[in-house]
Amino acid sequence: MRSLAAGLLTLFRAEAPKPVVLVEISTGLAATPTMRLCDREYSLAWGGQVWTGRPAEAGEIRVEAGQDAEGPTITLGDVDRTFRALLTAGAPFVGLRVVLRLTDESLCTSGAAADTAYRDDFLTEQWETPEGKFVLHLKPFASVFDLPLPRTTVTRAEFPGIPRDATWI
């Protein structure tokens, strides 16, 4: 089950929270394996890493019947053509991990631990490059199996029809 660290929850309940979205994108390139970005005009240090400021907007994450229905769309500014250069260098982006973290800006400036964030993992389903932007369409990380996965343990006691030689139990 997903939960928020107590310190983060307290900050989000404050009168004037300053939520910040941190985006970690796997590129598939050896030279630049991971990009760490934040939705600010300036860079932030958090969890021992530097998160480069870049205009960003993340779409809504919906949950239906205990399952992640679909992933969000992330729109990143690309006026400097950084993403186009990565695509030209051969970065596939599709099928690679994207980690979204939500934390408070005060935790970034205080040197708080990397677990003081709400984290959700996704896979890139497709991308597009409208003028001055780079858009990632994401899908839930568990959808790699293309099957709806239960969020609980299934046993033979509850479902006697499960084969005894099943190696995944």
**Helix spans in the chain (H):** 6-12, 82-88, 105-110
- How remote is the C-alpha of 82 from its chain's centroid? 20
DSSP structural state of residue 144? G
| Amino acid type, 47 | G
Topology (CATH) of 19-145: Pnp Oxidase; Chain A (2.30.110)
Residues 76-112 have pLDDT tens digits of: 999 999 999 999 999 999 989 999 888 888 777 766 6
pLDDT band at 33 (very low <50, low <70, confident <90, very high): very high
Residue given tokens 């979204």 in the structure block: 100
Is 161 in contact with 101 (CB distance < 8 Å)?
no
Render pLDDT for 4-19 as a digit per residue (tens, 0 to 9).
555 666 665 666 678 8
Residue 134 CB neighbours (<10 A): 23
What is the maximum alpha-carbon separation in the chain? 59
pTM surpassing 0.85?
no
Distance CA 105, CA 40 (A): 10
CB-based contact 133:76 (threshold 8 Å) = yes
Note the residue count of the chain.
169
Listed by start position, the domains of the chain span 19-145
Residue 113's closest CA among 3, 8, 1? 8
* Residue 85 DSSP SS3: helix
